[in-house]
Amino acid sequence: MPTNNAPLAGIRVADFTWVWAGPYCTMQLAHMGADVIRVESATRLCVSRVTPPWFGGQFGVNRSGYFNQYNLGKRSITLNLKHPRAREAALRIALKCDVVINNFAAGVMDRLGLGYRDLVRLRPDIIGVSLSGYGDTGPLRSYVAYGPAQVPLSGMSALTGYRGWPPMHVGFSYGDPNAGSHAAFAIIAALYHRERTGEGQYIDMSQWECTMALIGEGILDYTMNGHQPERDGSRDPLMAPHGLFRCRDMAEPIAGRPVDMWTAIAVADDAGFARLAAAIGRPELATDGRFATLAARKRNEDELEAIITEWTSTRFAAEAAETLQRAGVAAAVCATGRDLSEDPHLNQRGFFVTPEHAEIGRAKQAGIPWRMSGTPCSVRSAAPTLGQHTDEVLREIAGYSDAEIAAMRAADALK
Amino acid sequence: MPGPLSSLRIIEVGEMVSAPYAAKLMADLGAEVIKVERPGSGDRARTRGPFAGGAAHPEKSGLYIYLNTNKRGITIDLASPRGLAIFERLLSRADALIHNLAPFEMDRIGFEFARFHRLNPKLVMTSVAPYGLSGPRRDWRAEDLTVWSDGGACYLNGARDRPDLPPLKAYGYQAGYQGGAHAAVATMGALFAAARGAAGQHVEVSVQESVAAIIEMANTFWPYMGMVLTRYGPKPVQPLDTFECRDGWIFACCVEEHQWRSFVEVMGNPEWASEEIFDERFKRGVNYDALRPLLADWIGKQSVQDLYHKAQARRVPFAPISNLADLVNSEHLRARGFFVDVTHPQAGNFKYPGAPYRLSRTPWEIRRPAPALGQHNDEIFGSELGLEAREIEALRREAVI
């Protein structure tokens, strides 16, 4: 293999997933050069295709920023799996793939004749992946889960919230992309094993368990000490100040509304606090008995936060963060989507991509959070429009003739 | 049966969460991981709780114990030329190096890919840094909170009806975990390429970008519609919200139309539910201020478990707000064998969160608990690198190891 190939060049993935967890997994494989074929259906549109934002504010199944962000670099084929000829086509495609992945609840793929047991008889080295909410076994295996529900189910909500408030969420469907990344890792590990031994295998993933992996130290507080940690906002037991501080609103309102802005500040030790105190023009705070030590700052944290807010609230967030960073204090803008899109650092690093999309043209999308020096990863194409590659996939991978494809279409198998 | 990565040797120079989590994912699938810490104090995670028994102790940190299972631990002062020379001997036999030394620290001690590549052309070197290795913020100071904020996640969370309250971070070290998970994916990709004949290479992972990649719709609202998502603004689809039952909290989740219709049946088809302002998921988002009190009133009279199972019986993806005790006592997780028993020489016996994935042929397993600081110095410097006992003693005396 030439060394400048993408790391997963030549690997093909049949992607029966939908919404976000599975699509985020397979997009990472596509970033690494895998040929990912998303099997979709117009009879049951992926939730992300019918969820905003819409490009230019105009609804359309190919216009969602949500879908287009998380399906970069894939091909799309539409198959109506209720139709036997579509199931037959799906099976033919799956058997030409190295990896077959779904995120249906346990048992659905088996009923479609596309389960791992069926596939492995015909292709022994195949890697089958099930990325369900609760996993393939256990009394709740048929329960359904969406990414946002994983945050409360996993215990993360009970640990997250303002002090004295009820449990809160984390603000987005965090269980999904996290399960997607863990799945991508497990799949490449299984490919690695296959490369060395020739053996395929089956991977049973539970989004619930993947989410619990993110609060391991909290779980250990319970299993070691019987202790359920209290919610404490954005504060930290060993750092003060540690939180979000109000700044001036964004320079221009958006859609006529002011946008509130905040700067995150985290001070790990007394020397850092002295630097902060000097940077905000209050050097005397470093020797003030109320704030000189971590213990004192923790005792007087409300007062400390009020003093810092006096300084931040007359400044723009970026200005506050830059001033503090120049003084050697960990600080950053609490970024909105606009801040990210316009961020000089991210733009200079080439994080964003603007691939040509078949319907909406070029739109700015988040790119790949890693770089490889030898086997480059890249966003090879925009997200596919619904069924954009149906004919080419049926012809080139499943081996159907144009006449057969036309007959399947006439029979409504390709919807 | 060995894990799928049992042929791999990995060197970790990791602090806190990101690089240690990436190396843990590999160690738990069988890779041999050697963790290199600073002599004296070790990984900063050792100073962070929760501590077994409550009192701070470098060998009893739950954060350290969680992130460093299955690794062997040694100490080397990488800033000393002799330390770096010993480190290079380790690298010459390794498949991958995963680290999160700050970029300025890499410059200072000459921790460079080109140098390590000359020594071991097959080596995959993964550098995880808050802002990556280039760009105007490369050398910014960072803590988990500041990167979670700078990646766009923190702005999305907080009180829906109290815009005066600040955005709210998620529990723990979520920027670190995401940097680590993405680093594991990228490193595994490079190791797979190496197994197929590619040369070793340098993999760079930005934690900020790892967060910015996963913020759902928040990324594209600006370029697609000129809007920003906020913690207090209307959400496109509702209900996706937490409610108080008479005996605890539940998360109500109706993403698709059929889920809402089924939930309305579970509620006994109240009259208000048929009103036109609630008859479609986007309308429920727009009119959520009217909808929420109606839902809160009905849900407030239910018990969590009863409503959870009733909703799930109709394939509506509700979930309880689990406490940690609920997880440890869950029959489902017990049947799956999720929690495993770990015995740690200083922290004692406890249940430990287990495998996030089950590979049918090559299992995830705990082979050893997290190492004590420098626990494997003699074993690795002596029997594996061939240093003599008096050399090791001299290095120890001079605080090189």
* Known catalytic residue at A118: no
E-strand spans in B211-274? Answer: 240-245, 248-253
Indicate the residue among A335, A365, A381 that finishes a domain.
A335
Q: Which domain holds residue B279?
A: 240-325
Looking at residue B237, what is its pLDDT?
87
**A197 lies in the same domain as A299:** no
**Does B234 reside within a domain?**
no
Q: Do B220 and A265 touch (CB under 8 A)?
A: no
Q: What is the mean pLDDT of chain A?
A: 96
Could you write out the three-class secondary structure of chain A?
CCCCCCCCCCCEEEEECCCCHHHHHHHHHHHCCCEEEEEECCCCCCHHHHCCCEHHHCCCCCCEHHHHHHCCCCEEEECCCCCHHHHHHHHHHHHCCCEEEECCCCCHHHHCCCCHHHHHHHCCCCEEEEEECCCCCCCCCCCCCCHHHHHHHCCHHHHCCCCCCCCCCCCCCCHHHHHHHHHHHHHHHHHHHHHHHCCCEEEEEEHHHHHHHHHHHHHHHHHHHCCCCCCCCCCECCECCEEEEECCCCCCCECCECCCCEEEEECCCHHHHHHHHHHCCCHHHHHCCCCCCHHHHHHCHHHHHHHHHHHHCCCCHHHHHHHHHHCCCEEEECCCHHHHHHCHHHHHCCCEECCEECCCEECCEECCCEEECCCCCCCCCCCCCCCCCHHHHHHHCCCCCHHHHHHHHHCCCCC
Looking at residue A3, what is its pLDDT?
43
Q: Do A262 and B321 touch (CB under 8 A)?
A: no
A20 contacts chain B (CB < 8 A): yes
**Does A353 reside within a domain?**
yes
* B-proximal residues of A, 169-188, CB under 8 Å: 169-174, 176-178, 181-186, 188
Indicate the residue among B325, B348, B382 that finishes a domain.
B325
Q: Which of chain B's residues have a Cβ under 8 Å away from the Cβ of A192? A: 4-5, 188, 191-192, 195
**Does A415 reside within a domain?**
no
User: B79-95, pLDDT tens digit by residue?
Assistant: 999 999 999 999 999 99
- HSE of B117, CA atoms in CB hemisphere, 13 A: 13
Which CATH number do you get for residue A265?
Answer: 3.30.1540.10
Interface size between A and B, measured as CB pairs under 8 A: 525
**B21 lies in the same domain as B155:** yes
Q: What is the mean pLDDT of chain B?
A: 96
**Does A400 reside within a domain?**
yes
User: B347-386, pLDDT tens digit by residue?
Assistant: 999 999 999 999 998 888 999 999 999 999 999 999 999 9
Task: Give percent above pLDDT 90 in chain B.
Answer: 95
**A86 lies in the same domain as A183:** yes
**Does B287 reside within a domain?**
yes
**Does B174 reside within a domain?**
yes
The total number of structural domains that make up chain A: 2
Looking at residue A1, what is its pLDDT?
42
Q: Minimal Cα distance from B26: which residue of A?
A: A189
**A331 lies in the same domain as A353:** no
**B151 lies in the same domain as B47:** yes
Q: Which domain holds residue A305?
A: 242-335
Looking at residue B236, what is its pLDDT?
82
Indicate the residue among A315, A335, A355 that finishes a domain.
A335
Which CATH number do you get for residue B63?
Answer: 3.40.50.10540
- Residue that is written with structure tokens 């019986």 in the block: B313
Looking at residue A4, what is its pLDDT?
58
Q: Token digits for A203?
A: 């991977």
| Contact present, A360 and A62 (Cβ < 8 Å) | yes
Interval B185-200 mean pLDDT:
97
**Does B55 reside within a domain?**
yes
**B171 lies in the same domain as B192:** yes
**A45 lies in the same domain as A73:** yes
User: B240-284, pLDDT tens digit by residue?
Assistant: 999 999 999 999 999 889 999 999 999 999 999 999 999 998 899
**Does A232 reside within a domain?**
no
- Separation CA A232–CA A158 (nearest Å): 11
Q: Cα torsion for A96, A100, A106, A110, to the nearest 10°?
A: 0
**In which residue ranges of chain A is pLDDT below 50?**
1-3
Instruction: Give which of B143, B191, B314 to mutate to test A binding, by max A Cβ within 10 Å.
Output: B143
Looking at residue A2, what is its pLDDT?
42
**Does A251 reside within a domain?**
yes
Q: Do B228 and A363 touch (CB under 8 A)?
A: no
Looking at residue A105, what is its pLDDT?
72
Interval B10-32 mean pLDDT:
98
Nearest Cβ partner for B152 among A158, A199, A340: A340
A139 contacts chain B (CB < 8 A): yes
**B134 lies in the same domain as B71:** yes
Show Cβ contacts of residue A403 under 8 Å, excluding neighbours closer than 6 positions: none
**A267 lies in the same domain as A371:** no
Q: Is the pLDDT of residue B1 over 90?
A: no
Nearest Cβ partner for A170 among B29, B157, B352: B157
* B-proximal residues of A, 70-129, CB under 8 Å: none
- Separation CA B114–CA B273 (nearest Å): 65
* B-proximal residues of A, 25-44, CB under 8 Å: 28, 32
User: B320-355, pLDDT tens digit by residue?
Assistant: 999 999 999 999 999 999 999 999 999 999 999 999
Which CATH number do you get for residue B319?
Answer: 3.30.1540.10
Distance of CA B217 to the CA centre of its chain: 21
**B74 lies in the same domain as B191:** yes
> Interface pTM (ipTM) of the complex?
0.98
- Separation CA B220–CA A360 (nearest Å): 13
User: A290-319, pLDDT tens digit by residue?
Assistant: 999 999 999 999 999 999 999 999 999 999
CA B212 vs CA A73, A366, A380, B148, B154: distances in Å? 18, 7, 20, 9, 11
Q: Which of chain A's residues have a Cβ under 8 Å away from the Cβ of B66? A: 216-217, 219-220
Looking at residue B273, what is its pLDDT?
93
Looking at residue B362, what is its pLDDT?
83
A62 contacts chain B (CB < 8 A): no
**Does B225 reside within a domain?**
no
**Does B221 reside within a domain?**
no
**B193 lies in the same domain as B321:** no
Indicate the residue among A276, A301, A335 that finishes a domain.
A335
Indicate the residue among B295, B325, B355 that finishes a domain.
B325
**B205 lies in the same domain as B130:** yes
**Does A40 reside within a domain?**
yes
**A22 lies in the same domain as A153:** yes
**Does A301 reside within a domain?**
yes
**B88 lies in the same domain as B116:** yes
Nearest Cβ partner for A228 among B25, B242, B324: B324
Q: Give the closest-approach CA distance of A155 to chain B in angstroms.
A: 5
The total number of structural domains that make up chain B: 2
Query: Quick one: DSSP state of residue B327?
Result: H
Phi (first) and psi of residue A145, to 5 degrees? -145, 145
